[in-house]
Amino acid sequence: MNLWKITDGSTEWEIEVDTITVLKDSNLIWYKLIRLIDDYFTNKQSNVKIVEGEQIIQKKDWECHFIPFDAHLQVDKLKVKSPLNPLMDELCEDIVASPAYQELLSVWSELNEELQFANRKLDKYKLSLQLEAFDSKKMKQSLFFQPLEPFMSPNDYKLLFLKLLSERAMNKKTLIIIELPELYADVGAINQFMEHISQLSKIGYHFIIVTQKNLGQTSNYLFENQIIHKASLKMMKRKVQSQLPFVCEEGLYEEVEDQILELVDNCNFKSEILPTLSEMEQAKKVVLYTVFNHLDIPLNLDVTGFTPNLRNYIESQV
Protein backbone atom coordinates (compact mmCIF):
# COMPACT_ATOMS: atom_id res chain seq x y z
CA MET A 1 0.00 0.00 0.00
CA ASN A 2 1.23 3.51 -0.85
CA LEU A 3 0.12 6.50 1.18
CA TRP A 4 0.59 10.16 0.39
CA LYS A 5 0.46 12.66 3.24
CA ILE A 6 -0.33 16.10 1.90
CA THR A 7 -0.05 19.21 4.03
CA ASP A 8 -0.47 22.89 3.31
CA GLY A 9 1.13 23.99 6.57
CA SER A 10 -2.05 23.94 8.63
CA THR A 11 -3.93 20.77 7.65
CA GLU A 12 -2.79 17.27 6.73
CA TRP A 13 -4.62 14.78 4.53
CA GLU A 14 -3.68 11.18 3.84
CA ILE A 15 -4.77 9.31 0.73
CA GLU A 16 -4.03 5.83 -0.57
CA VAL A 17 -2.47 6.01 -4.03
CA ASP A 18 -1.88 3.58 -6.85
CA THR A 19 -1.34 3.85 -10.59
CA ILE A 20 -4.99 4.92 -10.79
CA THR A 21 -6.25 6.63 -7.65
CA VAL A 22 -9.88 7.59 -7.13
CA LEU A 23 -11.18 10.34 -4.85
CA LYS A 24 -14.82 9.36 -4.69
CA ASP A 25 -17.65 11.89 -5.08
CA SER A 26 -17.40 15.65 -5.44
CA ASN A 27 -16.81 17.84 -2.40
CA LEU A 28 -14.80 20.86 -1.32
CA ILE A 29 -12.07 18.73 0.29
CA TRP A 30 -11.28 16.95 -2.99
CA TYR A 31 -11.62 20.25 -4.85
CA LYS A 32 -8.94 21.78 -2.64
CA LEU A 33 -6.75 18.69 -2.34
CA ILE A 34 -6.18 18.09 -6.05
CA ARG A 35 -5.29 21.75 -6.53
CA LEU A 36 -2.79 21.51 -3.68
CA ILE A 37 -1.23 18.45 -5.30
CA ASP A 38 -1.01 20.27 -8.62
CA ASP A 39 0.48 23.31 -6.89
CA TYR A 40 3.14 21.15 -5.22
CA PHE A 41 4.41 19.79 -8.51
CA THR A 42 4.04 22.89 -10.70
CA ASN A 43 4.81 25.82 -8.38
CA LYS A 44 8.42 26.21 -7.28
CA GLN A 45 7.32 28.49 -4.43
CA SER A 46 4.59 26.14 -3.17
CA ASN A 47 4.25 25.69 0.60
CA VAL A 48 2.58 22.32 0.07
CA LYS A 49 4.45 19.16 1.07
CA ILE A 50 3.77 15.59 -0.04
CA VAL A 51 5.37 12.70 1.81
CA GLU A 52 5.28 9.01 0.87
CA GLY A 53 6.38 6.80 3.75
CA GLU A 54 9.07 8.89 5.43
CA GLN A 55 10.36 10.48 2.23
CA ILE A 56 9.35 13.79 0.67
CA ILE A 57 8.36 13.21 -2.95
CA GLN A 58 10.98 14.81 -5.18
CA LYS A 59 9.02 17.09 -7.48
CA LYS A 60 11.96 17.27 -9.90
CA ASP A 61 11.33 13.60 -10.70
CA TRP A 62 7.70 14.27 -11.61
CA GLU A 63 5.68 16.05 -14.23
CA CYS A 64 2.10 16.94 -13.29
CA HIS A 65 -0.84 17.94 -15.48
CA PHE A 66 -4.25 19.02 -14.21
CA ILE A 67 -7.45 18.60 -16.26
CA PRO A 68 -10.19 20.43 -14.26
CA PHE A 69 -13.93 19.79 -14.42
CA ASP A 70 -14.42 22.81 -16.70
CA ALA A 71 -11.47 22.03 -18.97
CA HIS A 72 -11.54 24.07 -22.17
CA LEU A 73 -8.97 24.37 -24.90
CA GLN A 74 -8.93 27.19 -27.42
CA VAL A 75 -7.96 25.52 -30.67
CA ASP A 76 -8.03 28.39 -33.16
CA LYS A 77 -5.64 30.69 -31.24
CA LEU A 78 -2.89 28.89 -29.36
CA LYS A 79 -1.61 30.32 -26.10
CA VAL A 80 2.02 29.94 -25.01
CA LYS A 81 1.34 26.93 -22.76
CA SER A 82 -1.25 25.27 -24.98
CA PRO A 83 -0.73 21.48 -25.21
CA LEU A 84 -1.52 21.88 -28.92
CA ASN A 85 1.75 23.73 -29.56
CA PRO A 86 3.94 20.60 -29.89
CA LEU A 87 1.44 19.18 -32.39
CA MET A 88 1.43 22.44 -34.36
CA ASP A 89 5.25 22.47 -34.41
CA GLU A 90 5.32 18.90 -35.69
CA LEU A 91 2.83 19.69 -38.46
CA CYS A 92 4.74 22.83 -39.45
CA GLU A 93 7.92 20.79 -39.82
CA ASP A 94 6.08 18.42 -42.15
CA ILE A 95 4.81 21.33 -44.26
CA VAL A 96 8.22 23.02 -44.43
CA ALA A 97 9.73 19.77 -45.74
CA SER A 98 7.14 19.55 -48.53
CA PRO A 99 7.80 20.60 -52.19
CA ALA A 100 4.74 22.85 -52.06
CA TYR A 101 6.33 24.99 -49.34
CA GLN A 102 9.51 25.41 -51.42
CA GLU A 103 7.39 26.48 -54.37
CA LEU A 104 5.61 29.00 -52.14
CA LEU A 105 8.96 30.50 -51.08
CA SER A 106 9.94 30.81 -54.74
CA VAL A 107 6.67 32.51 -55.66
CA TRP A 108 7.00 34.81 -52.65
CA SER A 109 10.47 35.83 -53.83
CA GLU A 110 9.13 36.55 -57.31
CA LEU A 111 6.34 38.61 -55.79
CA ASN A 112 8.93 40.67 -53.95
CA GLU A 113 10.65 41.38 -57.26
CA GLU A 114 7.36 42.60 -58.72
CA LEU A 115 7.33 45.32 -56.10
CA GLN A 116 10.05 47.12 -58.06
CA PHE A 117 7.47 47.95 -60.69
CA ALA A 118 4.91 49.05 -58.11
CA ASN A 119 7.45 51.29 -56.42
CA ARG A 120 7.96 53.33 -59.59
CA LYS A 121 4.50 54.74 -58.98
CA LEU A 122 5.54 55.76 -55.49
CA ASP A 123 8.66 57.71 -56.36
CA LYS A 124 6.79 60.98 -56.54
CA TYR A 125 5.51 60.37 -53.02
CA LYS A 126 8.98 59.46 -51.77
CA LEU A 127 7.59 56.15 -50.52
CA SER A 128 8.28 52.49 -51.19
CA LEU A 129 6.12 49.38 -50.85
CA GLN A 130 7.68 46.50 -48.93
CA LEU A 131 6.72 42.84 -48.60
CA GLU A 132 7.45 41.04 -45.36
CA ALA A 133 9.72 38.03 -45.66
CA PHE A 134 7.90 34.72 -45.59
CA ASP A 135 9.24 31.90 -43.43
CA SER A 136 8.03 29.01 -41.27
CA LYS A 137 7.23 31.37 -38.39
CA LYS A 138 5.03 33.51 -40.62
CA MET A 139 3.34 30.40 -41.99
CA LYS A 140 2.66 29.08 -38.47
CA GLN A 141 0.88 32.33 -37.61
CA SER A 142 -1.49 31.67 -40.53
CA LEU A 143 -2.38 28.14 -39.44
CA PHE A 144 -5.11 27.25 -36.94
CA PHE A 145 -7.01 24.20 -35.76
CA GLN A 146 -10.74 23.78 -36.15
CA PRO A 147 -12.88 21.11 -34.42
CA LEU A 148 -14.59 18.62 -36.72
CA GLU A 149 -17.68 18.76 -34.49
CA PRO A 150 -19.61 22.03 -34.00
CA PHE A 151 -19.75 21.56 -30.22
CA MET A 152 -17.26 19.94 -27.84
CA SER A 153 -18.47 18.65 -24.46
CA PRO A 154 -16.35 18.88 -21.27
CA ASN A 155 -15.57 15.18 -21.76
CA ASP A 156 -14.41 15.84 -25.34
CA TYR A 157 -11.99 18.49 -24.08
CA LYS A 158 -10.71 16.18 -21.32
CA LEU A 159 -10.13 13.38 -23.82
CA LEU A 160 -8.35 15.79 -26.17
CA PHE A 161 -6.10 16.97 -23.32
CA LEU A 162 -5.40 13.35 -22.38
CA LYS A 163 -4.46 12.34 -25.93
CA LEU A 164 -2.19 15.36 -26.37
CA LEU A 165 -0.42 14.80 -23.04
CA SER A 166 0.04 11.08 -23.64
CA GLU A 167 1.73 11.65 -27.01
CA ARG A 168 4.51 13.69 -25.46
CA ALA A 169 7.81 12.05 -24.55
CA MET A 170 7.64 10.81 -20.95
CA ASN A 171 10.99 11.79 -19.47
CA LYS A 172 9.77 11.82 -15.86
CA LYS A 173 7.13 10.14 -13.77
CA THR A 174 3.91 11.66 -15.04
CA LEU A 175 0.85 12.38 -12.91
CA ILE A 176 -2.39 13.44 -14.57
CA ILE A 177 -5.13 14.80 -12.28
CA ILE A 178 -8.64 14.60 -13.75
CA GLU A 179 -11.72 16.18 -12.21
CA LEU A 180 -15.19 14.76 -12.88
CA PRO A 181 -14.63 13.11 -16.28
CA GLU A 182 -18.30 12.03 -16.29
CA LEU A 183 -19.56 15.62 -16.54
CA TYR A 184 -21.99 15.78 -19.51
CA ALA A 185 -20.81 12.36 -20.70
CA ASP A 186 -22.86 9.25 -21.42
CA VAL A 187 -21.88 5.71 -20.46
CA GLY A 188 -20.18 5.04 -23.78
CA ALA A 189 -18.04 8.18 -23.54
CA ILE A 190 -17.01 7.37 -19.96
CA ASN A 191 -16.09 3.81 -20.90
CA GLN A 192 -13.97 5.08 -23.79
CA PHE A 193 -12.31 7.62 -21.51
CA MET A 194 -11.50 5.05 -18.82
CA GLU A 195 -10.19 2.58 -21.40
CA HIS A 196 -7.75 5.25 -22.56
CA ILE A 197 -6.67 5.85 -18.96
CA SER A 198 -6.27 2.11 -18.37
CA GLN A 199 -3.98 1.76 -21.38
CA LEU A 200 -1.85 4.73 -20.32
CA SER A 201 -1.54 3.41 -16.76
CA LYS A 202 0.00 0.22 -18.15
CA ILE A 203 2.89 2.18 -19.68
CA GLY A 204 3.71 4.17 -16.55
CA TYR A 205 1.30 7.10 -16.31
CA HIS A 206 -0.23 7.85 -12.89
CA PHE A 207 -3.73 9.24 -12.42
CA ILE A 208 -5.71 10.86 -9.62
CA ILE A 209 -9.38 11.04 -10.59
CA VAL A 210 -12.17 12.82 -8.74
CA THR A 211 -15.37 11.10 -9.77
CA GLN A 212 -18.83 10.09 -8.63
CA LYS A 213 -18.54 6.87 -10.63
CA ASN A 214 -17.45 3.48 -9.27
CA LEU A 215 -14.35 2.79 -11.30
CA GLY A 216 -13.11 -0.27 -9.42
CA GLN A 217 -9.76 1.32 -8.61
CA THR A 218 -7.94 2.25 -5.39
CA SER A 219 -10.52 4.55 -3.83
CA ASN A 220 -10.59 7.17 -1.09
CA TYR A 221 -13.86 8.24 0.53
CA LEU A 222 -14.70 11.32 2.53
CA PHE A 223 -17.06 10.52 5.39
CA GLU A 224 -17.82 12.70 8.43
CA ASN A 225 -14.79 14.84 7.44
CA GLN A 226 -12.52 11.78 7.57
CA ILE A 227 -10.68 10.32 4.59
CA ILE A 228 -11.22 6.56 4.63
CA HIS A 229 -9.51 4.02 2.39
CA LYS A 230 -8.62 0.34 2.41
CA ALA A 231 -5.11 1.01 3.72
CA SER A 232 -6.37 2.93 6.76
CA LEU A 233 -8.58 -0.03 7.70
CA LYS A 234 -5.76 -2.54 7.24
CA MET A 235 -3.34 -0.51 9.35
CA MET A 236 -5.66 -0.64 12.36
CA LYS A 237 -6.50 -4.34 11.98
CA ARG A 238 -4.16 -5.68 14.68
CA LYS A 239 -5.24 -3.02 17.14
CA VAL A 240 -8.92 -3.77 16.51
CA GLN A 241 -8.41 -7.53 16.73
CA SER A 242 -6.57 -7.26 20.04
CA GLN A 243 -9.36 -5.14 21.50
CA LEU A 244 -12.32 -7.34 20.54
CA PRO A 245 -13.87 -9.73 23.12
CA PHE A 246 -13.59 -12.64 20.66
CA VAL A 247 -11.16 -14.01 18.09
CA CYS A 248 -11.60 -12.10 14.86
CA GLU A 249 -10.45 -14.21 11.92
CA GLU A 250 -8.79 -12.60 8.89
CA GLY A 251 -11.76 -13.44 6.70
CA LEU A 252 -14.22 -11.76 9.06
CA TYR A 253 -12.17 -8.58 9.25
CA GLU A 254 -11.81 -8.44 5.46
CA GLU A 255 -15.59 -8.79 5.07
CA VAL A 256 -16.12 -5.90 7.48
CA GLU A 257 -13.52 -3.82 5.60
CA ASP A 258 -15.46 -4.24 2.37
CA GLN A 259 -18.76 -3.46 4.09
CA ILE A 260 -17.37 -0.30 5.67
CA LEU A 261 -16.07 0.98 2.32
CA GLU A 262 -19.45 0.24 0.77
CA LEU A 263 -21.23 2.04 3.61
CA VAL A 264 -19.10 5.20 3.46
CA ASP A 265 -19.49 5.20 -0.31
CA ASN A 266 -23.28 5.07 -0.15
CA CYS A 267 -24.00 7.08 3.03
CA ASN A 268 -23.42 10.76 3.67
CA PHE A 269 -23.78 10.72 7.46
CA LYS A 270 -23.22 8.16 10.21
CA SER A 271 -26.93 8.31 11.12
CA GLU A 272 -27.62 6.70 7.74
CA ILE A 273 -25.40 3.73 8.57
CA LEU A 274 -27.29 2.37 11.58
CA PRO A 275 -30.49 1.33 9.75
CA THR A 276 -28.42 -0.67 7.27
CA LEU A 277 -26.95 -2.85 10.03
CA SER A 278 -30.17 -4.55 11.09
CA GLU A 279 -29.48 -7.77 9.17
CA MET A 280 -25.79 -7.91 10.00
CA GLU A 281 -24.44 -10.62 12.31
CA GLN A 282 -23.60 -9.50 15.85
CA ALA A 283 -19.88 -10.24 15.46
CA LYS A 284 -19.66 -8.10 12.31
CA LYS A 285 -21.54 -5.27 14.00
CA VAL A 286 -19.06 -5.29 16.88
CA VAL A 287 -16.03 -5.28 14.55
CA LEU A 288 -17.56 -2.48 12.50
CA TYR A 289 -18.40 -0.51 15.65
CA THR A 290 -14.81 -0.87 16.90
CA VAL A 291 -13.31 0.20 13.57
CA PHE A 292 -15.49 3.32 13.48
CA ASN A 293 -14.38 4.14 17.02
CA HIS A 294 -10.76 4.04 15.85
CA LEU A 295 -11.73 6.36 13.01
CA ASP A 296 -13.13 8.80 15.60
CA ILE A 297 -16.63 8.26 14.19
CA PRO A 298 -18.54 6.79 17.16
CA LEU A 299 -21.81 5.02 16.41
CA ASN A 300 -24.82 4.72 18.73
CA LEU A 301 -25.18 0.99 18.22
CA ASP A 302 -28.40 -0.65 19.42
CA VAL A 303 -27.31 -3.66 21.49
CA THR A 304 -30.81 -5.12 21.90
CA GLY A 305 -30.58 -8.90 21.51
CA PHE A 306 -26.80 -8.97 21.84
CA THR A 307 -25.20 -11.68 23.96
CA PRO A 308 -24.19 -10.40 27.43
CA ASN A 309 -20.45 -10.34 26.70
CA LEU A 310 -20.88 -8.36 23.46
CA ARG A 311 -23.36 -5.99 25.07
CA ASN A 312 -20.97 -5.39 27.98
CA TYR A 313 -18.12 -4.74 25.52
CA ILE A 314 -20.11 -2.15 23.54
CA GLU A 315 -21.30 -0.40 26.70
CA SER A 316 -17.74 -0.27 28.04
CA GLN A 317 -16.62 1.61 24.90
CA VAL A 318 -19.12 4.44 25.29
Please write the tens of the pLDDT for every residue from 254-276.
999 999 999 999 887 777 887 77
Backbone φ and ψ of 28, nearest 5°: -65, -30
- pLDDT at 53 (0 to 100): 87
- pLDDT at 270 (0 to 100): 78
CATH number of 2-75+152-218: 3.40.50.300
Backbone φ and ψ of 116, nearest 5°: -60, -40
- pLDDT at 71 (0 to 100): 84
* Under 8 Å between Cβ of 61 and 172: yes
* Domain boundaries, given as residue ranges, for the chain: 2-75+152-218, 88-142, 236-317
- pLDDT at 222 (0 to 100): 93
- pLDDT at 13 (0 to 100): 95
Cα(123)–Cα(146) distance, integer angstroms: 44
Per residue in 198-256, pLDDT (tens digit) is 999 999 999 999 999 888 788 999 998 899 999 999 999 999 999 998 888 899 999 99
- pLDDT at 225 (0 to 100): 87
- Give the SS3 label for residue 55: strand
For the chain, list residues with pLDDT below 50.
Answer: none
- pLDDT at 316 (0 to 100): 85
